[in-house]
Amino acid sequence: MGQVLEPNLVPSEALRWLVCLTDGDDLGSSRPNQRGQLVSQMLGSSSAPAGLNMVMITVGALKSENVQVIQSWVKQVTTQGGQGVHLGDKDATGIAKAFEVVAEFLAAEVGGATEC
């Protein structure tokens, strides 16, 4: 996540894509980030990068409160002018389809072929 905020990593006018994959409810986050507070703070702050796009790919059952957090991130990104999408599937067979969607988004941005 820190690289998304890195000021000189890419030109300031470049669009940034954050593609996240999770296989269920998070059991390993530190206490200050158990409900995604760090991402929520970054997205809600003035330090959120311009042109940020987000694809959240979830596989498996998630608690409803975690789905709400993910949907709030997607909404924040789209409200700020980026593309945000949550792609969820019940099992791992949907991962390939989800990454095809990611490839389509990226191809539209760069105007060419991409590999995932």
What pLDDT does residue 113 have?
A: 46
Residue 116, C-beta contacts closer than 8 angstroms, at least 6 positions apart: 99, 100, 102, 103, 106
What is the domain count for the chain?
Answer: 1
Give the domain range for residue 90: 55-110
What is the value of pTM for the model shown?
0.72
Q: Find the range with the poorest average confidence among 32-36, 38-42, 77-81, 95-99.
A: 32-36
Hey, which of 26-35, 71-80, 104-113 has the most confident mean pLDDT?
Answer: 71-80
Give Dmax over CA atoms of the chain in angstroms: 42
Q: What is the pLDDT of residues 7-59, one digit of tens each?
A: 666 676 777 888 888 876 666 566 666 677 878 888 888 777 778 899 998 88
Residue 34 in domain: no
Is residue 20, in this structure, part of any structural domain at all?
no
Is there a domain that residue 83 lies in? yes
- Contact call for residues 55 and 18 (beta carbons, < 8 A): yes
**Pairing of β 84-89 and β 16-22:** unpaired
